[in-house]
Amino acid sequence: MKLRMRRSRPPDAVPDNPPRADFGGWAVAAAAGILLLLSLVKGDWPLGPSRGAGWIVPLSFADSVWRTLLAILLGLLLALHPALAERRARLSRWFFGMSATRFAWTLGGAAALLYAAVSLLLFDGMPYLDDDAAALFQARVFASGRLSLPLPEHGEFFSMFGMLGTSQRHPFVCTMYPPGLSLLLLPGVLVGLPWLVMPLLGGLLLVATVALGRELAGERVGRIAGLFLLGSPFVGILAGTHLSHVPTALFLTFGWLQVARLLRTGGLRHGLGAGSAWGLAFLCRPMCALVVGVVMAFGVLVQGRRAWAARRGVLVAVVMAVLAAGLLLLWQQATTGDPLLPGHRVGMGARASMGFIEYHPARQHTPAVALAHTLARMRAVNDQLLGWPLPSLLLVFLPLLIRRFRPVDLWLALAWLALLAVYAFYWYWEEYWPARYTSAAAPMLLVLAAQGWSHWRAGAGRLVRPAARACLSVGIVYAAGVAWPSAWNRIRQNPGDMDPLLPRILRTYGVDRGVVFMRSIGRVGSRGEVYNDYYAAGFIRKPLNLAGPLVFVRNRRGENETLMDARPGGPFYLYTYVRGDARAELDEYVRTPDGWALRRVGRFPPAPGDPVLPARPDGQTPRNRAGAEAPFCPRQVPQVVGPL
């Protein structure tokens, strides 16, 4: 099998329309059959709310039926109304007439701005999970000029998932993850804007996706793929976090682009770019990089003649990949004491294993669970890759239905299919944004989707082109007006591992010094949050040397007095996050003749009957919710609510 690469072309040229596809009756019947099948298959995410919809109906549809219908009507109006024909033609000339370089960077800049808004407005510029909280903390360690921190006294109060330390009987504190993500966050930490790193990398991901589509399928497909990426809630939400998925996708997409150019030109610089990009992805997410790297290598090997002609560049790429693997081994030697021992194994034990295993005394990963997780990942991508009211995967595999599926298309599709297959053997279900483990192949799927739409638009028949234009218009309007708000609200209702109320209650009641013991109580209806203690929200804010004015520690109940004796200056607080109710309470420890007791400082959000707000830093009189002067400040009158 040979993967046919496109020949050299002028960089700014937009090729003519592809040959008209012959939509035979069998293809229409096959598409209709697939739609019918998908409409009957239950597509609910495991352990999530049951909606009963099949794959053909996106979950966002159920969030607002009226908004969905309005989006569809508006999209049809924009695409088909005769009065807008001139405006559509002008927009098309602008979209396809702009130079290739200017187009890519304009769309990439728009994506970076969008993702920055997601980071600030949706995530408050903070990490989303323990994973990226640990990576950000390690970036702060790097910024201090060290690879690790010494174990703190009473280190059991400072343990967090993702960090090695006292809980693992590790000799020092460091992240259990590879160093790539923390190194990428380092410049942001140094300038005080770590939240901006992922949006910028997300903008570069769009540029790389446009270039990959142009290289493998032409300028038109590249531009449509970039437009699809800009509207994708699947990629867009991830680009607002501090997680490693977007940079991994960026480096693998750029590496794939360099491999394609290497096979086409044989240039050494492309081999250097391919190996270096893959190495950076490997230092961020080794498993994803390894899986996609094998698929990339497969595409090189099946083209024996071109690979041999470009053998010097291939050798350079291999050398760079080996160097990246060596860097990871050195990191593991420095952090775990064994170059072959990943930090995951130290931090997670048996839970770091893949396969059909017993990862918990009461839980096993079985083939049935693996199948359920895989179908759920496919459902999430089907819903959110494009954010359209139609199945995304139908557009991805449309060339297969109309018999225009090329070997190079199979090469692209294999990246996602391989990730699906490999992660089926991992027990964890990524409920905090499903299918993100396969996001490294999202750009490849978007290129395929853009090609599927282009083939549809070029099909024979008088109504084919207007139908394709209408579908594109409806899809864009639906993504902006329905799919994105639905994804936004879903994240808002699920705070991940970062309790959003901690900074608000501290600001509300003027707490800027002391020790805050953190705990969470209550239950919610999904698996992960039941056991989540949300300590990451405090851990990420604590000073590296624990000598700052405000330190956040775990609540260890009867052992808390030990830490109080070690830090006698105080004051000491108990912060309680009530899971499921989205509220928080703050109590202060006070001395009593019998030892310690708690008095209520306040809660957030304040209840209607709460009489006071705290004293303001500017010294003005505190006022209650009605605007009248408050009778007292909660710090002045103890209200004992319970023992230590």
Q: Can you give the three-state secondary structure of 211-253, one letter per residue?
A: HHHHHHHCHHHHHHHHHHHHHCHHHHHHCCCCCCHHHHHHHHH
Residue predicted with more confidence, 439 or 35? 439
Element (H, E) at 134: helix 130-143
| Average pLDDT for 345-363 | 86
Cβ proximity of 45 and 376 under 8 Å? yes
Lowest mean pLDDT among 119-133, 210-224, 411-425, 578-592: 578-592
User: Phi then psi for 613, rounded to 5 degrees?
Assistant: -120, 160
- Helix (H, G, I), strand (E, B), or coil: what is residue 485? helix
In what side-by-side order are the strands of the sheet with 172-175? Answer: 149-150, 172-175, 163-164
**In DSSP terms, which residues pair with 603 in a beta bridge?**
585
Cβ proximity of 482 and 68 under 8 Å? yes
Model pLDDT, residue 4 = 55
Q: Residue 41: which pLDDT band, with cuts at 50, 70 and 90?
A: very low
Span 159-176, pLDDT tens digits: 999 999 999 999 999 999
**Pick from 562, 561, 549: which is nearest to 598 by CA?**
561
Examine the pLDDT at 56 and tell me if it is beyond 90: no
Cβ proximity of 502 and 537 under 8 Å? yes
Residue 336 vs residues 143, 279, 344: alpha-carbon distances, Å: 21, 21, 10
- Helix (H, G, I), strand (E, B), or coil: what is residue 22? coil
| Average pLDDT for 336-350 | 93
**In DSSP terms, which residues pair with 283 in a beta bridge?**
none
Q: Across 66-75, 265-274, 619-628, which has the greatest mean pLDDT?
A: 265-274
| Average pLDDT for 139-148 | 96
Model pLDDT, residue 66 = 85
Span 464-497, pLDDT tens digits: 788 888 889 999 999 999 999 999 998 888 778 8
- Helix (H, G, I), strand (E, B), or coil: what is residue 518? strand
What's the predicted TM-score (pTM) here?
A: 0.87
- Helix (H, G, I), strand (E, B), or coil: what is residue 173? strand
Q: Residue 65: which pLDDT band, with cuts at 50, 70 and 90?
A: confident
Tokens of 569: 């200056």
What is the Cα–Cα distance from 37 to 55, expressed in whole angstroms? 9
Cβ proximity of 516 and 573 under 8 Å? yes
Model pLDDT, residue 532 = 75
For 386, half-sphere exposure in the C-beta direction (CA atoms, 13 angstrom radius) is 30
Helix axes 180-191, 130-143, angle to 10 degrees: 60
What is the Cα–Cα distance from 512 to 509, expressed in whole angstroms? 9
Is it true that the peptide bond before 617 is cis, omega within 30 degrees of 0?
A: no
Residue 75 vs residues 95, 372, 385, 481, 602: alpha-carbon distances, Å: 18, 34, 19, 11, 49
Q: What percent of the chain has pLDDT over 90?
A: 59
Span 562-577, pLDDT tens digits: 899 888 888 999 999 9
Tokens of 122: 């949706």
Residue predicted with more confidence, 640 or 443? 443
H helices present in 232-342, as ranges: 233-238, 245-265, 268-284, 286-301, 304-309, 311-336
| Average pLDDT for 599-617 | 67
Cβ proximity of 211 and 237 under 8 Å? no
Tokens of 441: 């192949």
Q: Residue 291: which pLDDT band, with cuts at 50, 70 and 90?
A: very high
**Pick from 588, 591, 640: which is nearest to 614 by CA?**
588
Give the torsion through C-alpha atoms of 74, 75, 79, 85, to 10 deg: 40
What is the Cα–Cα distance from 224 to 511, expressed in whole angstroms? 51
Model pLDDT, residue 9 = 47
Q: Can you give the three-state secondary structure of 538-598, one letter per residue?
A: HHCCCCCCCCCCEEEEECCHHHHHHHHHHCCCCCEEEEEEECCCCEEEEEEEEEECCEEEE
Residue predicted with more confidence, 304 or 340? 340
